[in-house]
Amino acid sequence: MVQLNESVWKYVQEMNTYTESIGSDKFNCQYGNAIRESLIIDVTTKSSLELYQHCYIKTGSQLYLEDISDFNSSRLKLLARTNYLPLKQFLFRMHMSEDNLCPICDSGESEDLEHFLLGCTSLEQTRSKFFTLFASFNNRNVSFLELSPRAQVLFLVRDIGYAFNDEIGSFYDVYGRMYLLELFRLRHIMVEPK
């Protein structure tokens, strides 16, 4: 049973009550496979969910969504995976912005997920702090700084580390979410109208 405080959605409380009444094994048996099959069909038909397809369909789990104590970073990770993180590229695609250029640096580059996580010069100080942490994580299977930019993005927002082992997966899940949350907090401060 998930422990809840007063501010958590009533939906979660209702679902906990329901699963307790029929038992979690029975609930998973009744609804788990049907929901998973329906989700896979929905996800595979949407081209905007390409990154999410790789994350969910290949691994079948999303452990970060189970961490209700860290809702904000989990939400950002989900938005990044589903290509709905409100960066200028997304806002432009949804006709909510006149352009897709990064609003916090003067590089003239599109503010897409890769630019936001790896290239925006205005976020370099925070990136340097986290990349030092990523580089210090001693594991013979992964050298984060030697990965291609695309692979670095996948380690930060996709649970690809779990393909190596649980230690790598857990490290990049936790610190990747912290990194995403810190960058987005800084972006909000820099973009917020004065």
The domain of 172 spans 70-191
* Closest alpha carbon to 107 in 129, 90, 123: 123
pTM for the whole structure: 0.68
pLDDT at 128 over 90: yes
Would residue 63 count as lying in a domain?
Answer: no
Would residue 1 count as lying in a domain?
Answer: no
Two structure tokens written together for 144: 């984060």
More confident residue, 25 or 32: 25
Would residue 57 count as lying in a domain?
Answer: no
Would residue 93 count as lying in a domain?
Answer: yes
Q: Note the pLDDT tens digit of each residue in 38-74.
A: 555 555 566 555 555 555 444 555 555 566 677 888 8
pLDDT confidence of residue 3: 46
Name the helix (H) or strand (E) containing 66: none
pLDDT confidence of residue 119: 96
Residues 6+ apart with CB under 8 A from 98: 92
What are the φ and ψ backbone dihedral angles of 111, each rounded to 5 degrees? -85, 85
Count CB neighbours of 76 within 10 A.
Answer: 20
Question: HSE of 96 in the Cβ direction (CA atoms, 13 Å)?
Answer: 9
Q: Could you tell me which residues are beta bridge partners of residue 101?
A: 110
What are the φ and ψ backbone dihedral angles of 4, each rounded to 5 degrees? -120, 150
Q: Note the pLDDT tens digit of each residue in 81-96.
A: 888 899 999 999 889 9
Total domains in the chain come to 1
Mean pLDDT of 157-176: 84
